[in-house]
Amino acid sequence: MIDQLIEYDKELLRFLNGYHTPWLDPVMLVLTETIAWLPLYLFLLYLMIKEYKKESWIILLGVGLTILLADQITASIMKPYFARLRPSREPTLEGLIHLVQGYTGGQFGFASSHAANTFGTATFFFLVFGDSKRWIVWLFVWAAFMTYTRIYLGVHYPGDILVGGLVGAICGWAGFKFSQWVLTWDRKRKVTASR
């Protein structure tokens, strides 16, 4: 069963990775980097400060916890434990997938930290702002695109992305719940102190 799923994962990778074009290669190489999305992160920071003002540190704490959990679970626990080679380093796929400018990523790829971090961030902000800012759902499109760049570059299987995204969504929910708990605690503390 697991072997069959791995084969399906390889076939889906080859299918999705097969859609590439020379002009898009350098674009995808840039857009896969976290620094390329700095304007988006600054905009989200602006939203936090605008909406929560002096309490924005609590929301920042929640998103920080989300990213810390998502990144550490995938990079420090899952990748060494499962030790699944990235497609770019898999000998049986050599010459069968499109790689860009020799970029191969680290040795292991399951589960994707990019997917965990981006879907964690999207989930967190959707839970924080979903009621007041309906357009925030577009963060999931950003997360999907960001993680697709990993398949395009041949450094992740679709299964790496799927599991990483799921881990990220759970971490985003946990970070949100934590920030709401701290927010409630802080507000109660202020009310008690003002009496």
Report the phi/psi class of residue 121: left, alpha or beta, with left for phi > 0 and alpha for psi in -120 to 50.
alpha
Contact 16, 158 (CB under 8 A): yes
pLDDT tens figures, 57-102 = 999 999 999 999 999 999 999 999 999 999 999 999 999 999 999 9
* pTM (predicted TM-score): 0.94
Q: Is 191 helix (H, G, I), strand (E, B) or coil?
A: helix
Place of tokens 């577009």: 138
pLDDT category of residue 189 using cuts at 50, 70 and 90: confident
195, pLDDT greater than 80: no
pLDDT tens figures, 129-175 = 988 999 999 999 999 999 999 999 999 999 999 999 999 999 999 99
